[in-house]
Structure 1
Amino acid sequence: MTARTFRIGGDLPVGRIGFGAMRLPTEPGPDRAASMAVARRAVELGVTLIDTAHLYGAGANEELLAEALHPYPDDLLITTKVGVARTGPGGEWRLDGRPEILRQQVDDALRRLRVERLELLQLHRIDPETPMAEQLGTLRELQEAGKIGRIGLSEVTVADLEQARKTIDVVSVQNAYNLLDRAHEPVLEACTAAGIAFLPWRPVAHGGAGAREEVAAVARELEATPTQVALAWLLARSPVVLPIPGTASIGHLEENVAAAELRLTDAHRARLDALAPPA
């Protein structure tokens, strides 16, 4: 039986299908109102993990979620990410893990999300121009100051993860991973062994025709949708996997959340496993 919840860091329970807020429009008008309705519907459906980031609209996504959901339910975790900033030569986005940038983005996130502590804060990317120990040390200092509860990483290798764990307690990893893209299988295996939450972004694959046909065939047999099959496969892949599918549609949101109820047989899983070569 696939577990429906997971405790991030061993003590923070969340439902295993979360919601990625990146796709929600934030501009004033009907689209913003629709975005707020999607966020509220996610909570109504029992979603307890919502993912956002400073990068998503330079904080506008964080502000949208706060407007839609604050004051937050006690069991809702909104996790955000820092470490990408508009500090390029022409004001373009770039990886920026300098301590002053990380501190400012954490303070901004606290203000925008209207919280006193970020229960889970993830480093969006490791900045290759700033020593990793300096980036993680800054986050650890913010954690010790009470501004961060737990720290996670995004788009890292196994070597990155091993090195980071010498400086901080890593409780989550957010890497691209899905039914047809398993390049980060070694990272998932490392997270499974260590009990680290693995949040696959881009969790629904759009692969070759043959693969799509096989997924559709499994979906027909289970009276489900291909998207639900892809999410159910992720849930069955490892107990630490917490998919965060994103959408701006309430219908798609409801479809995604319902995937938690779908159960794949061993035969279905074997067919789906065979769709992508081992990493």
Structure 2
Amino acid sequence: MSVDVDETFALGGDLPLRRLGLGTGGLVGAGYWGPRGSRAEARTVLRAAVERGVTLIDTADNYGPGLAEELVAEALHPYAEGLVVSTKGGVVRTGPDQWHVAGRPQELRAMCEASLSRLRLDRIDLYQLHRFDPAVPMAEQLGALAELRAEGKIRHIGLNTVTAQQLREALALVPVASVQNPYNLLDRTSAELLALCEERGIAFLPYYPLGSGALTRESAAALTAVAAEHGASTGQIALAWLLHHSPVLCPSPGTGSPAHLAENLDAATIHLTARETALLDGLAG
């Protein structure tokens, strides 16, 4: 018997979205630097995602840098009703795979204003602090985002790459609608954080939901056996497992390929049985 899965989640309690979204890291070059392909190709992927019913587009100001946000606006503005656009600030990229945190309140404000301009928005649905800056008190960083929220420039605040304890501390200061940490079939180091998100009704946006491609090549017997039973790819089963594993998990795998996009989104149609789910649960041992 297949396990029932709710394909939707109410972000912050008031923004309904389909749990399987699209990340935009795959639209820019290696190391999140420069273009990956043509702007037209990137726009095609973004538009195809929305046409398939995706309602969460997850981007960041340092992808490109700035390029991913520009592509989102070029392809999708004016935005369809119900489309949730999420972006991130707090990191400055200086080259391929080179970046540093920048969490002073004036820096965060400037980054948010720049994202609003590139995305052609008056308010960002979900603005995520990409990293906590260890040189700046947490209260000052979150205070800057709270001010932007009070001004109507941010609807919801999210956190990226945090511990469960950091989330508890943050929740004492501001409402938090989402967290974004690595989580997939083989990497469950954020299990405590996931449990806290389930308790508080906070969205968990797992990054590297396919293990940076490892799970599309994974040869573990359990994964390949389940994939064979469904006539699916191992990557599709890995995404389906996330949707079954917790109702707050909202994966947004990235890609620059329309075909790969379609494959990823088809994962939402796969209904795993309790036996298959248990089998996959055991992979992280």
**TM tier relative to shorter chain:** over 0.9
Is the CA contact (8 Å cut-off) linking 1:85 and 1:94 kept in structure 2? yes
Q: Match for residue 8 of structure 2?
A: 5
Alignment correspondent of 2:278: 270
* Contact preservation (8 Å) 1:211, 1:275: no
Deviation at 1:86, TM superposition (A): 4.7
What is the distance in 2 between the residues matched to 1:219 and 1:95? 40
Structure 1 residue 93: Cα displacement: 2.2
* Counterparts of 2:229 and 2:94, CA distance in 1: 51
Give the whole-Å Cα distance in 1 for the aligned partners of 2:149 and 2:114.
Answer: 15
Name the aligned partner's letter for residue 114 of structure 1: R
State how many pairs are aligned: 274
Q: Is 1:25–1:31's contact at 8 Å kept on the other side of the alignment?
A: no
Shift of 1:208: 12
Q: Describe the SS at the equivalent of 1:130.
A: coil
Q: Name the SS for the 2:10 alignment partner.
A: strand
Task: Give 5+ residue unaligned stretches, structure 2.
Answer: none
Structure 1 residue 4 displacement after superposition:
1.1
1:107 correspondence with 2:110 = no
Secondary structure of the structure 2 residue equivalent to 1:115: coil
Distance 1:183 1:28, change over 3 A: closer
Contact 1:22 1:61 (C-alpha < 8 Å) held by counterparts: yes
Residue-by-residue CA offset, 1:150-198 (whole Å, 9 max, x unaligned):
0010110010000000111001001110000000011001001110000
For the 8 Å contact 2:9–2:18, the answer to whether it is kept is yes
**CA displacement 1:208-242 (0-9 Å, x = unmatched):** 99863321111001111111100110001111110
Hey, what's the Cα distance between the residues in 2 that align with 1:273 and 1:118? 35
Contact 2:18 2:55 in 1 (8 A): yes
Match of 1:49 in 2: 56
SS at match of 1:243: coil
Structure 2 residue aligned with 1:160: 166
Deviation at 1:32, TM superposition (A): 1.7
1:229 aligned residue (237, 242, 245):
237
Aligned-partner Cα distance in 2 for 1:208–1:8: 28
Question: Counterpart of 2:73 in structure 1: which amino acid?
Answer: A
Judged with a 3 Å threshold, the aligned counterparts in structure 2 of structure 1 residues 188 and 123 are, in CA distance, closer, same or farther, namely same
Whole-angstrom CA distance in 2 between matches of 1:208 and 1:33: 26
Distance 1:190 1:267, change over 3 A: same
Is contact 1:24–1:61 with CA below 8 Å preserved after alignment? yes
Structure 1 counterpart SS, 2:156: strand
> Aligned letter for 1:45?
R
- Partner SS for 1:170: coil
Shift in alpha-carbon separation, 1:170–1:30, aligned structure 2, 3 A: closer
Q: How does 1:11-50 map to 2 (within 5 A)?
A: 11-25=14-28, 31-50=38-57
Are positions 1:121 and 2:127 aligned together?
yes
Does the Cα contact within 8 Å between 1:25 and 1:32 map onto a contact in 2? no
Q: CA RMSD for the aligned pairs?
A: 1.9
Alpha-carbon separation, structure 2, partners of 1:86 and 1:272: 36
Aligned position for 1:259: 267
Asked if 1:151 is matched to 2:157, the reply is yes
Q: Is residue 226 of structure 2 the alignment partner of residue 191 of structure 1?
A: no
Contact 2:35/2:67, CA 8 A, preserved across alignment: no
Pair 23,208 (structure 1): closer, same or farther in 2 beyond 3 Å = closer
| TM-score, length-scaled by structure 1 | 0.94
Say if 1:225 and 1:256 are closer, same or farther in 2 by CA, change over 3 A.
Answer: same
Q: TM-score, normalised by structure 2?
A: 0.92
CA distance 1:276–1:2, shift in 2 (3 Å) = same
- Distance in 1 (alpha carbons) for counterparts of 2:144 and 2:217: 46
Q: Secondary structure at the match of 2:158?
A: strand
Corresponding letter in the other structure for 1:248: G
Distance 2:279 2:174 in 1: 39
The structure-2 alpha-carbon separation of the partners of 1:207 and 1:34, relative to structure 1 and needing over 3 Å to count, comes to: closer
